[in-house]
Amino acid sequence: MTHNSLRLAILAGLMAALSLPAAAATSDWKIDPAHSSAQFAVRHLGISTVRGAFTKVTGTVRSDDQDVTKSSVEVTIDTDSVDTRVPDRDKDLRSERFFDVAKYPTITFKSKKVEQAGAGKLKVTGDLTIHGTTREVILDVDGPTPAIKDPWGNQRAAANATTKINRQEFGMKFNDKMPTGDLLVGDDITITIDVEMIRPGAVK
């Protein structure tokens, strides 16, 4: 092979390599409702903490393996799925005094910014909509975990996210005061979201 032929062959190889599509950096995941939930905790009578959960959580996660800031999250919670293990209390929470599920059937979160916050941790800023009111919140996220292969050949990963809100800021204003001055139901709500995500296709 002459020098010119060798140079042309190398050039052709480089051109072919450059013309190949880049490997996809993003992957799309769906939240698995059967293995996900959103828990909340609120003070009761100023002396104890009542905990409950929303058992129907769906959504999508777009993960960018090369640049986490290009990742995004959308979560939808069915307000009618509220469960505090006390039927009468759940009925009250579904009423107009609190979540008003007939008028506002979902709680939603849509991310606007994703940042690395340390090893295995993220800060996700986004719009949280509850009771028809939207406010910006920050989720502190542990995860996502490394992907594993489930018995059916799908990829799975998980994450845990927490934040704290004031329910009054979301239009849930009902309250009574005790003789001590403490609120019957506290205003500050701690929210914890546990999600398991699924993506078709085996882990290599």
Closest listed residue to residue 65, CA positions, set 26, 94, 36: 26
pLDDT band, residue 65 (cuts 50/70/90): confident
Please give the Cα distance from 118 to 128 (Å, whole number). Answer: 24
Which pLDDT score is estimated for 86? 95
The per-residue DSSP string of the chain comes to: --HHHHHHHHHHHHHHHHHSPPPP-EEEEEE-GGG-EEEEEEEETTTEEEEEEE--EEEEEEEESS-GGG-EEEEEEEGGGEE-S-HHHHHHHHSTTTT-TTT--EEEEEEEEEEE-STTEEEEEEEEEETTEEEEEEEEEE-PPPPEE-TTS-EEEEEEEEEEEEGGGGT-----B-TTS-BSEEEEEEEEEEEEEEESS---
Q: Is this structure's pTM higher than 0.85?
A: no
Beta-bridge mates of residue 83: 53
Give the residue-averaged pLDDT of 156-164.
97
Please give the Cα distance from 120 to 112 (Å, whole number). Answer: 20
Higher pLDDT residue, 204 or 164? 164
- Mean pLDDT is lowest, of 166-170, 187-191, 198-202, for 198-202
Q: Which CATH architecture has domain 25-199?
A: Beta Barrel (2.40)
Higher pLDDT residue, 13 or 46? 46
Please give the Cα distance from 70 to 112 (Å, whole number). Answer: 10
Q: Please, what is the average pLDDT of the chain?
A: 86
**pLDDT higher than 50, residue 171:** yes
**pLDDT higher than 50, residue 50:** yes
pLDDT tens-digit readout, 7-41: 444 444 444 444 444 445 789 999 999 999 999 99
Per-domain residue ranges for the chain?
25-199
First to last CA, the chain: 40
Higher pLDDT residue, 46 or 95? 95
Q: Could you tell me if 201 and 33 are in contact, meaning their C-beta atoms sit under 8 angstroms apart?
A: no
**pLDDT higher than 60, residue 6:** no
Which pLDDT score is estimated for 182? 56
pLDDT tens-digit readout, 73-110: 999 999 999 999 999 999 999 999 899 999 999 999 99
